[in-house]
Chain A
Amino acid sequence: MKVGIIQFPGTNCEYDTQYAFTSLGCETQILWHKEESIPNGTDLVVVAGGFSYGDYLRSGAIAKMSPIMKALKVYVQNGGKVLGICNGFQVLTEAGLLPGALKRNEGLHFISTHHHLKVINNDNDFLRHCAVNQVVNIPIAHHDGNFYIDEEGLQELYANNQVLLKYTDAEGNIDNPNGSVDSIAGICNKTKNVFGLMPHPERAMESLLGSNDGRAMLEGFIHA
């Protein structure tokens, strides 16, 4: 299993992501954003978290203009799998690879905390090792995590089982930290090869550090 991890100026979760996938037995490679192709044989590309281009203009907006994004679009068209975490999710929505947009948190604060999430759909390569309605404990750390999509787009997400995760409390009751539409924390595209979420599963790999619930999530990409 070969994982490519995209690095823009300002990305800061690429090495956590590398640690996570290395500890799951994957071969990993950091891909600088000026690259014009995705290496042959790459099984998964992760757009890692951070503050690409300092979040200037809008989170993820300038990153979508980077050379590697053209290559990523071709990779996706050919069925390649992509995971965007936090800023990576913002980049994928800005690039039009995922629907909707991420706005400023409703309470206007940067939120950095562990938060519970409920698995809504698991019929996909990402969450197939998690059970529907399973509650996981995953860190969130974002200022612009308020997921927005119009009513029509939202109905389409539900109709195609594209809603992956919602913010909840430990019992699985909706607990919305940032104002996201329907408390949505993660989605995928229609063809279920592009995934995006604001929480950081790569930061939940060791129970010593608060949670290892991220392992089961990321393992979905590795073992059928």
Chain B
Amino acid sequence: MKAIVSVFLKNGVLDSQGKAVQHALVHHGFESVQDVRVGKQIIIKMDEPDAAAAKEKVAHMCEELLANTVIEDYEIEIQA
């Protein structure tokens, strides 16, 4: 089982890196860019046959370590 975890700053928490990338893109001629958010993706390979159990474990990992829930949100996608 593979878990793909996406971690982003919460809405309302200023994403300085996203803003810098957005300005660079707009100045580079990509004028239709309205907003950019920069985050991380963490890919976890697990010896866990049950998708629901895998998701629960990964959620626990996010709360314990992978995300700082004071400033970040996370999303988990489980792939077979």
Show the binding face of A for B, using Cβ within 8 Å: 57-58, 61-62, 64-65, 93-94, 100-101, 103-108, 146, 148-149, 179
Contacts and interface: CB of A to CB of B under 8 A. Distances in A.
A61 B16 contact: no
A104 B16 contact: yes
B20 A94 contact: no
A64 to B, nearest CB: 8
Nearest to B42: A57
A138 B47 CA distance: 50
Contacts of B65: 57, 61-62, 64-65
5 contacts: A61-B65, A64-B65, A94-B68, A103-B71, A179-B14
A103 B13 contact: yes
A103 B12 CA distance: 13
Interface in B1-49: 9, 13-14, 16-17, 20
Contacts of B53: none
Nearest to A105: B16
A107 B13 CA distance: 15
A58 B14 contact: no
Chain A, interface SS category: loop
B16 A179 contact: yes
A115 B64 CA distance: 34
Contacts of A148: 13, 70-71
A57 B13 CA distance: 18
B14 A106 contact: yes
B13 to A, nearest CB: 6
A108 B13 contact: no
B66 interface: yes
Given A93-B70, A101-B71, A106-B16, 7 more contacts: A62-B65, A103-B13, A103-B16, A107-B16, A108-B16, A108-B20, A146-B16
A138 to B, nearest CB: 24
Contacts of B64: 65
B38 to A, nearest CB: 10
A58 to B, nearest CB: 6
Nearest to A60: B68
Contacts of A107: 16
Contacts of A104: 16-17
Contacts of B66: 57
A93 to B, nearest CB: 8
Contact of B68 (A61, A62, A65, A146): A61
A215 B20 CA distance: 39
A101 B68 contact: yes
Nearest to A62: B65
Query: Which among B14, B20, B66 has the highest number of chain A CB atoms within 10 Å?
Result: B14
Contacts of A65: 64-65
